[in-house]
Amino acid sequence: MDPDIVMILGRVVEKALKADAILASKRVLVTVHSAAAMRCPWMGRRFRRDLKTLKRALARERPPGRRSQADAASALHAPALHGKR
């Protein structure tokens, strides 16, 4: 895997990876850990905001007309409409 965007969950991981040369060429999104987001309402709001930011960034990078893996998977399992295939 060679992602263009790396999402770091939590301050401990951020500190551990700060000097990592591999991440130098990547876009990094740092947010709170998901467990902290469930415990503290203000962290939950930040986590949801950061997920929206990630979604927008991914939408900008996806070429037009190309479906995501989730879209492709749901199309495989969708029933045929009105008997048409």
Over the stretch 36-61, which tens digit does the pLDDT of each residue have?
999 999 999 999 999 999 999 888 87
- pLDDT tens figures, 5-22: 888 898 888 888 877 776
Whether 4 contacts 27, CB under 8 Å: yes
Tokens of 44: 């939950």
Indicate yes or no: pTM above 0.95.
Answer: no
Q: What does the DSSP assignment read for the chain?
A: ---SEEEEESHHHHHHHTT-GGGGGSEEEEE--HHHHHH-HHHHHHHHHHHHHHHHHHHHHSPTTPPPHHHHHHHHHSPPGGG--
